[in-house]
Amino acid sequence: MIDLRLGGVLGESLEELMTRCEEYRQATTQHLLRALWHPWQARLRMRARLHVLRQDVDALHRRQEAAMSVLAQPEHSRALAERLGRLPDQDPRRINDPGPAA
């Protein structure tokens, strides 16, 4: 969502990240359904599959961290703040607060 507000800063890497997130979600859902429908068969393969899923989630986490570090760069945070209508150094709680009554 933030990348879309900034005009596609991440480009193709965002598409790849979204694809990997969806693939991981589907893999975990399939693993859960397999374990529910065939508990004894799934139990035999569970350890190996969980090992692979842990590796996948580690890689996914690294990709998400890399994307966040790109989006957190000062020029991108300023651009996002401008598009959202406030400067990055402004306190969001004080934007609509006119201050103490005179």
At 23-76, the pLDDT tens digits run: 888 988 888 888 787 777 666 677 777 888 888 888 888 888 888 888 788 887
- Tell whether 63 is covered by a domain: yes
Q: Report the predicted TM-score, pTM, of the whole model to 2 decimal places.
A: 0.49
Quote the number of domains for the chain: 1
Three-class secondary structure assignment of 45-80: HHHHHHHHHHHHHHHHHHHHHHHHHHHCCHHHHHHH
- Alpha carbon distance 95, 86 (integer Å): 8
Task: Please give the residue range of the domain that contains residue 50.
Answer: 10-84
- Tell whether 2 is covered by a domain: no
- Tell whether 94 is covered by a domain: no
Q: What is the mean pLDDT of residues 10-17?
A: 72
- Tell whether 89 is covered by a domain: no
Q: Indicate if the pLDDT at residue 90 is higher than 70.
A: no
Helix (H) or strand (E) holding 22, with range, is helix 12-37
